[in-house]
């Protein structure tokens, strides 16, 4: 009997996952169609077709347009795009290079920035948030609240410029890009530390908003949990305050954070444009930005497609994680 129920439970689990995936694939299809039509219907031409080039004759432009299927009906263009995307032969309008390796390269560049920023956010937010919750209403709590709000209220590029100018003026070291150039022949230790240093400021800048938001969230989760009956019971049992807070309260408060791991990857693309632009960081966001400027439709669409895949995968993962860690969530 018990085995049978477990078995059917497993089955529901699988159908649940399968249905979820199917749903997301449909969503993805719609997303790609919407994105494709928006981009192709908007004004503006790919830059290769840029007639500002005085040497280009109308017939050349026609040849280029034909080579990129720009005069075909929309649904055909969409079909070409999907075909090329999945055969890996999609090429950029801008330089005729294959799109996927290009995006992969940029993804690898963005990754260290993302990892470092995530580490900073998650490691700093918990202690500040918990501390603020424990001392609710104290000067510390109020000042962190205020600071958190101030941090999410500053335009990111404003703060970044101030930071860059300050660091450069005070310490006289380069901070822009992924590394200091001209150091290729230096010691490995110097080179790797140099790379690390170039990560510090951009990742701190992109982490700032995250620290503010996450520490606020930790605080409110902790407050939520601390008010629960079982915490009161634990206190009544005479357990030390630290044990109560860090063993009982924190472990329960952590639950919703599990779901957040699902949202880490899509964040790679979304908000990083500005920071990558300022710090001359050759990441995904900047690739997207340059593609927008050049009307490089295949690159824009593919980045968008990948972002959608990551978002959908992220929500799937977080749903599943939630289902796994919280037995109270029933699979519907």
Partner 1 sequence: MTTLSGQQSAISSQLETIAELPPHETQLQEFWRILKKDRLAIFGMIVLGVLLALAIVAKVTTEWVVIFDPSTVRLPDKFLPPMSGASADLIPTEDRPVFGVYLFGTDELGRDVFARMLQGSFVSLSIGFIAVGISVSIGILLGGLSGYYGRIKLGFITVDTLIMRFTDVMLCFPTFFLILTVVALLPPSIYNIMIVIGVTSWMGTARFVRAEFLSLREQDFVVAAQALGLPEYRIIFRHMVPNAMAPVLVSATIGVASAILTESGLSFLGFGVQPPFATWGNILSDGKGFIFDAPWLFFIPGFAILIVVLAFNLFGEGLREALNPKLRRR
Partner 2 sequence: MWLKRLLILIPLLLTAILLQSYFWVPTYETQAKGNPKRLLKYIEASSGDAKILNPILNADSASSSIVGMVFEGLLDLNENLALRGRLATDWTITEQAYLLVDPDAQLPNGKSATAARLERLIQHALDSGSLPELNGVLLHIRQIPSEVRTTTVEVRTPDENDQPKTTSVAVSINVPERVAFMLSRVDQDFFHRLTPIIGEQYGNNFQLDKYIHITDPVDEIVETLVKAQFPSLLSVTEHNPELLFHLRQRVKFHDGQEFNAEDVKFTYDSIMNPRNISPRTSDFEPIKYVEVLDSYTIRMVYKRLYSPAITAWTMGILPEHLLNETAMQAEMDERDLSEATRETFGMRDSQFNRSPIGVGPYRFVEWQGDQFIKLDRNDDYWDGPPEYEQYIVRIIPDLLIQEVEFRTGAIDFYSALPHQVARYREDDTYQNFSSLGFGYVYIGYNNRKPLFANPQVRQAMSMAINVDEIIQYIMYNEAERVTGPFPKVTEWYDESIQPVPYDPDGARALLESLGWKKNADGWLEKDGKIFEFNMVTNSGNPIRKNIMSIAQNAWKKIGIKCNTQYFEWAVFLKDFINTGDFDATVLGWSMGIDPDLFQIWHSSQAGPQQLNFVGYNSPEADDLIVRIRQEYDRDQQRVLTHQLHQVIHDDQPYTFLYAAKGTRILDKKIVIVNREPDGTEQYEKIYPLKSGAIRFYFNKWRKLEHTPAF
Binding residues for partner 1 restricted to 212-271, rule: CB under 8 A? 213-214, 217, 220, 223, 227, 256, 259-260, 263-264, 266-271
| Structural contact between residues 205 and 163, judged by C-beta atoms closer than 8 angstroms | yes
Among 30, 79, 119, 280, interactor with partner 1 by CB under 8 A: 30
> How many whole angstroms separate alpha carbon 125 and alpha carbon 115?
15
Answer yes or no whether residue 106 interacts with partner 2 by CB under 8 A.
yes
Q: Give whichever of 105 and 318 is closer to partner 2, judged by the CB atom.
A: 105
Nearer to partner 2 by Cβ, of 45 and 141: the residue is: 45
* Only segment of 21-29, 31-39, 185-193, 256-264 that touches partner 2 (CB under 8 A): 185-193
Interacting stretch for partner 1, rule CB under 8 A, among 42-50, 87-95, 171-179, 188-196? 42-50
Cβ closest to partner 2, residue 161 vs residue 230: 161
Report H helices in the chain: 2-41, 58-67, 74-87, 99-134, 139-153, 156-171, 188-226, 229-236, 241-242, 250-253, 255-258, 267-270, 273-278, 284-294, 297-325
Distance of alpha carbon 264 from alpha carbon 270, whole angstroms: 11
Q: Is the CB of 103 or the CB of 207 nearer to partner 1?
A: 207
Give 60 or 224: the residue with its C-beta nearer to partner 1: 224
Could you say which residues in the range 38-57 bind partner 2, by CB under 8 A?
43-45, 47, 50-57
Burial class (CB in 10 A: 0-12, 13-18, 19+), 18: exposed
On whether the CB atoms of residues 248 and 234 are closer than 8 A, the answer is yes
Query: Which three-class secondary structure string do you get for 127-144?
Result: HHHHHHHHCCCCHHHHHH
Q: Which does 153 bind (CB under 5 to 8 A by kind): partner 2, partner 1, none?
A: partner 1
Rounded least distance, CB 277 to partner 2, Å: 6
Q: Which structure tokens are listed for 50?
A: 């840029």
Q: Is 51 in the site for partner 1 (CB under 8 A)?
A: no
**Gap between the Cα atoms of 332 and 133, Å rounded:** 34
Q: Binding to partner 2 by residue 76, rule CB under 8 A? A: no
Question: Which of 38/200 has CB closer to partner 2?
Answer: 200
Please tell me the count of residues contacting partner 2 according to CB under 8 A: 83
- 178 is a site residue for partner 2 (CB under 8 A): yes
Structure tokens at 197: 């240093």
Stretch that binds partner 2, among 225-233, 255-263, 276-284, 318-326 (CB under 8 A): 276-284
8 A C-beta contact, residue 217 and residue 133: no
Burial class (CB in 10 A: 0-12, 13-18, 19+), 295: buried
d(CA 230, CA 239): 12
Residue 277 binds to partner 1 (criterion: CB under 8 A): yes
Pick the binder of partner 2 from 86, 137, 158, 181 (CB under 8 A): 181
One residue of 39, 231, 255, 321 binding partner 1 per CB under 8 A: 39
Residues 134-173 touching partner 2, rule: CB under 8 A, are 161, 164-165, 168, 171-173
Among the listed residues 117, 295, 302, 308, the single contact to partner 2 using CB under 8 A:
295
By rule CB under 8 A, what count of residues binds partner 1?
Answer: 74
Q: Which residues pair with 91 in a beta bridge?
A: 98
Q: Are 225 and 231 in contact (CB under 8 A)?
A: yes
Query: How many residues would you count in the chain?
Result: 332
What x/- string results for residues 83 through 122 when contact with partner 1 is judged by CB under 8 A? ------------------------------xx--xx--x-
């Amino acid at each position: 009997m018990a085995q049978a129920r477990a078995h059917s439970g497993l089955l529901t689990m699988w159908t649940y996952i399968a249905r979820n995936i199917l749903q997301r694939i449909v969503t993805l299809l719609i997303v790609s169609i919407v994105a494709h039509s928006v981009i192709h219907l908007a004004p503006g031409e790919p830059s290769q077709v840029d007639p500002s080039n005085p040497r280009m004759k109308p017939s050349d432009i026609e040849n280029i347009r034909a080579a990129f299927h720009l005069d075909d009906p929309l649904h055909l263009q969409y079909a070409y795009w999907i075909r090329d995307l999945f055969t890996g032969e999609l090429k950029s309008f801008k330089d005729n290079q294959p799109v996927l390796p290009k995006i992969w390269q940029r993804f690898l560049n963005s990754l260290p920035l993302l990892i470092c920023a995530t580490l900073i956010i998650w490691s700093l937010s918990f202690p500040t948030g918990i501390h603020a919750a424990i001392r609710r209403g104290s000067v510390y709590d109020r000042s962190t609240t205020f600071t958190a709000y101030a941090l999410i209220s500053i335009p990111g590029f404003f703060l970044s410029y101030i930071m860059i100018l300050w660091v450069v003026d005070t310490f006289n070291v380069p901070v822009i890009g992924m590394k200091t150039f001209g150091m290729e022949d230096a010691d490995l230790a110097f080179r790797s530390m140099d790379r690390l240093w170039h990560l510090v400021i951009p990742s701190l800048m992109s982490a700032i908003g995250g620290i503010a938001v996450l520490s606020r969230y930790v605080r409110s989760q902790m407050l939520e949990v601390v008010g629960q009956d079982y915490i009161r019971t634990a206190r009544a049992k005479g357990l030390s305050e630290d044990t109560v807070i860090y063993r009982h309260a924190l472990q329960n408060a952590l639950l919703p954070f599990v779901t957040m791991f699902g949202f880490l990857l899509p964040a790679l693309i979304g908000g990083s444009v500005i920071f990558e632009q300022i710090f001359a960081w050759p990441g995904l966001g900047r690739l997207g930005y340059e593609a927008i400027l050049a009307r490089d439709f295949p690159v824009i669409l593919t980045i968008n497609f990948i972002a959608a895949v990551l978002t959908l995968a992220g929500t799937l993962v977080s749903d599943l994680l939630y289902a796994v860690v919280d037995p109270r969530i029933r699979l519907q």
